[in-house]
Structure 1
Amino acid sequence: MVWIDINCDMGESFGNWRMGNDEGVMPYITSANIAGGYHAGDPHVMRETVELAAEHGVEIGVHPGLPDKMGFGRRTMDASPEELRDYVVYQLGALMGFARRHGATVQHVKPHGAMYSMLSDSDEHARAVMEGMLEVDPDLIYLATDMNIYEVAQDVEGLQAVFEGYIDLDYRADRSLIVEKEVDERDPELVADRFVSIATEGVVEAENGEQIDVPADSICIHGDNPNAVEILEAIHDRLDEHDIQLASLPEVV
């Protein structure tokens, strides 16, 4: 039996602007990364997303970003390690408030966009954020998007970390992700094949055809993909056939 988590970035709507299909996706995942209000989200959307996660028994994590809604948190800022730590603690505290209201807890942290890139490029920034997490709650899990960050997390005393893989994005041979500006539909069966490959063998095919190691215990699905629900249905159809059991992050860490 293989145990694996499926996570999804959620709660990224704000005001009259809508992003993703949270209601359609939520029944198929085990962990929700909820925007903390800086790159996306607002108090009402945070509340609604926490309520939706609680209704479906999905574990909650914060998806903190840089304070840049116009750029959707994808533009690098000149921020010190201490400033990034404060940004994460601030957004984490906001989500914890909504979670507590609904009898839930926040289990993990997964930085978004340019913040994630800054942490990947700077061990000092990454360590500051991770140590800030532990100061808020020593049980929090860091969801690591690349191996650089994962290695830093393993060196932070007391921090639990889970490495995640991607199946609706393509990898380069160096394990970096190819992120397109426009999100297009993906072939559900092909994406489901990639899910099974990572879950059972820890490998996936890169854009050049090379098999690369992706030793992930959590797999991310993008909720803003136009056919995300169809992809998740195809994945769920493969679970029993390949003896795969979905589990939350605390169960796979």
Structure 2
Amino acid sequence: MTTGVTLNCDMGESFGQWPMGLDREVMPHIQQANIACGFHASDPDVMAATVQLAQQHNVSIGAHPGYADLQGFGRRHIPHSSEQISHLIAYQTGALMGIAAQFGARVDYVKPHGALYNLMMQDVAVFNAILRAVARLPGHLSLMILSRADNSQYRALASAAGVPLLLEAFADRAYTRDGLLMPRSESGAVLDSEAAILSQTQLLAGGAVNTCDGSLLPLEVDSICVHGDNPASVNTIAAIAAQLASQ
């Protein structure tokens, strides 16, 4: 990929006999797999299978910890103290690290999931709680966060904690004018046409995104998140990968 921008995708979200997503079809097209750690989705067997699938395709493994909310898929906010959030991140990331070690693999980064991810980007105390957990885990892990128009505060806090940041943008989500993701409950929050997603991807690879009010927001982008839970989205992911490779 000549742009230097990677693709990441949420993976390993099946649970027991209930499949979720099309991981085998998506994995060949991405560079980073955000693997659910059992609290909002997944189980040890699914985690192990997803780690091995990532290994087969030389894909970087990331922990995708969220709230203990299987029924709500981690998209409901659950009040926690700062210490509880740190423990939540450490517990789930440690579980994935243990699974990965069974196959000679390693976890490279942490990307919080769902409501916890959104809260991290709005509450500096939550961001710091997550940073503390990541900093104390072995392996010098990076933290993947939502890129904003101004990332200087996040960079300063992460640097002080000794945690590298990966700045993420979303190919298929609409943005508010202040650079946050539009809530899924609002109309138009999720882009559902391949043309719109490819157009946004091209902008993101160039360091910008259109917001819901029509303005152009500059963004630093290390990685673009795509979602692959249906056959149409797999085709779109393949098109995104080809688009980035050609730039």
TM-score scaled by structure 2?
A: 0.89
Among candidates 239, 242, 245, match of residue 237 of structure 1 = 242
Q: How far apart in 1 are the matches of 2:215 and 2:137?
A: 41
Q: Distance in 1 between matches of 2:238 and 2:246?
A: 14
Q: 2:236 corresponds to which letter in structure 1?
A: I
- CA deviation map 1:173-231 (0-9, x unaligned): 221212435997722233122212211x2112223322112221110001225522111
Deviations 1:109-168 (A, max 9, x none): 000111123322321222122111111125101000253887335323211001101111
Structure 1 position 240, deviation (Å): 4.3
TM-score between both structures, scaled by the size of structure 1: 0.87
CA shift in 2, pair 1:184/1:19, >3 Å: farther
Shift of 1:80: 0.4
More strand per residue: 1
- Taking structure 1 as reference, are residues 49 and 149 closer, same or farther at Cα in structure 2, changes over 3 Å only? farther
Write the letter of the residue equivalent to 1:130: L
Q: Quick check: 16-25 or 44-53, which moved more?
A: 16-25
Matched residue, 2:35: 34
Match of 2:222 in 1: 217
Looking at structure 1, the residues matched to 228 and 151 of structure 2 have their Cα atoms a distance apart, in angstroms, of 23
Q: CA deviation at 1:73?
A: 1.0
Tell me, what secondary structure is at the counterpart of 2:42? coil
* 1:84-233 paired onto structure 2 within 5 Å: 84-137=85-138, 139-147=140-148, 151-156=153-158, 157=160, 158-180=162-184, 186-199=192-205, 201-224=206-229, 227-233=232-238
Cα shift readout 1:30-67 (whole Å, capped 9, x = no counterpart): 00000010011111110111011011110000000011
Q: Cα gap change, 1:75/1:97 in structure 2, threshold over 3 Å: closer, same or farther?
A: same
2:121–2:145 Cα contact (<8 Å) kept: no
Gaps of 5+ in 1: 243-253
Which sits farther off after the overlay, 107-116 or 187-196? 187-196
Q: What percent identity do the matched residue pairs reach? A: 37
Structure 1 residues 129, 39: CA separation in 2 closer, same or farther (over 3 Å shift)? same
Matches of 2:183 and 2:17 in 1, distance apart?
26
The answer on whether the counterparts of 2:82 and 2:129 sit within 8 Å (CA) in structure 1 is yes
Residue 64 of structure 1 is matched in structure 2 by: 65
Unaligned runs of 5+ in 2: none
User: Does the C-alpha gap of structure 1 residues 240 and 10 become closer, same or farther in structure 2, counting only changes over 3 Å?
Assistant: closer
Residues in 2 aligned to 1:138 and 1:123: alpha-carbon distance in whole angstroms: 24
Alpha-carbon distance change, 97 to 30 in structure 1, aligned in 2, over 3 angstroms: same
Supply the distance in 2 between the matched residues of 1:111 and 1:121 (Cα, whole angstroms): 13
